[in-house]
Amino acid sequence: MTDAPRPLIIDTDPGQDDAVALLVALASPEFEVLGITTVAGNVPLARTQVNARKVCELAGRTDVPVFAGCSRPMVRALRTAEEVHGVTGLDGPDLPEPTMALEPRHAVDWLVDTLMAAADASVTICPVGPLTNIAMALVKQPAIAAKIREVVLMGGGFFEGGNTTPAAEFNIYVDPHAAHVVFSSGVPLTMIPLDATHSALMSRAWMADLGAVDTQVARATVAMLEFYERFDMERYGTEGGPLHDPCTIVYLLRPDLFETRFCHVAVEIASELTMGMTVVDWWDATGNEPNCTVARRIDADGLYDVIGTCLKRYPL
């Protein structure tokens, strides 16, 4: 007897690595993807909601509804990352404009209604962008916290520092107040920070192996990643770039590939110098109650084997 697919919501701001996370999840029978909620982040909301639908059409999964959510952070002005992802957010391949419709409901309303209708501790949420939609849903209806099985997010950094400021990683920095709400909510949390994602870089051999696959998904993915990884390779002087967001999906499939610790995490929301810093009490210096499973390292070979296997499932 096989387990029923895990109900999953992906909250995203595509972004090439977001696109790969979506493709991995949509190719995995282990998940029932209930919907995709989009948020402003890597590029503005007008582009992220289009990009999510482009990826669904690329995957042949127009059955998965896509919702547009918050167009700006809760308190601060929006910061985007076109210098990393290009003007469209999915620079690299030439993906056609989507024909599937954007759902008319606001993502936050859909999140609240969907979670309130679910059994307790039943729905997993993977946010791979700023946490605005998730925080707004928790503020609007705090009772949804009991419905969430876990939140597995990509964001933050501690020993590795930040990639947007010396202290802060992009997803948390863009909306630190939303991150503070989520980290203070009491929902089961797992954080995949830069410390973990920077420990698992794309290799030339892996890219070549994927490039040898003659499908539309493989060709588009390689084009996306060749554009995307140049930024980190230039910044860090590495031979390959990290693939941040798919790590959340792989964590749900293969948690054994991740070295983690359960500890207390707080988000800085007062100091401009360290705004958006994830203060990870790795050594239990404060004695504060742990609230988050934090990944530090990933088995790179295992990670990219899972991602490659999922991407190769697409037939066309």
pLDDT digits (tens, 9 = 90+) for 4-28: 999 999 999 999 999 999 999 999 9
Residue whose entry in the numeric block shows the structure tokens 């009772």: 143
pTM for the model: 0.96
Bridge partners, residue 279, by sequence? 266
How far is the C-alpha of 83 from the C-alpha of 102, rounded, in Å?
Answer: 27
How far is the C-alpha of 316 from the C-alpha of 314, rounded, in Å?
Answer: 6
Residue 134 lies in a domain: yes
Residue 190 lies in a domain: yes
Residue 157 lies in a domain: yes
Confidence of residue 127 (pLDDT cuts 50, 70, 90): very high
CATH number (domain holding residue 170): 3.90.245.10
Give tens-digit pLDDT for 251-289.
999 999 999 999 999 999 999 999 999 999 999 999 999
Domain hosting residue 55, numbered range: 6-311
Task: Calculate what percentage of the chain has a pLDDT beyond 90.
Answer: 93
Give tens-digit pLDDT for 134-179.
999 999 999 999 999 999 999 999 999 999 999 999 999 999 999 9
Residue 1 lies in a domain: no
Confidence of residue 312 (pLDDT cuts 50, 70, 90): very high
Give tens-digit pLDDT for 35-83.
999 999 999 999 999 999 999 999 999 999 999 999 999 999 999 999 9
Verify whether residue 244 is a known catalytic residue: yes
Residue 214: burial class (beta carbons within 10 Å; 0-12, 13-18, 19+): exposed
Residue 132 lies in a domain: yes
Task: Supply the pLDDT for residue 1.
Answer: 46
Q: Angle, nearest 10°, between helix axes 216-236 and 16-26?
A: 140
Task: Supply the pLDDT for residue 229.
Answer: 76
Q: State yes or no: pLDDT of 234 exceeds 80.
A: no
Residue 290 lies in a domain: yes
Residue 277 lies in a domain: yes
Residue 316 lies in a domain: no
Q: Which of 85, 180, 198, 244 is catalytic?
A: 244
**Number of structural domains found in the chain:** 1
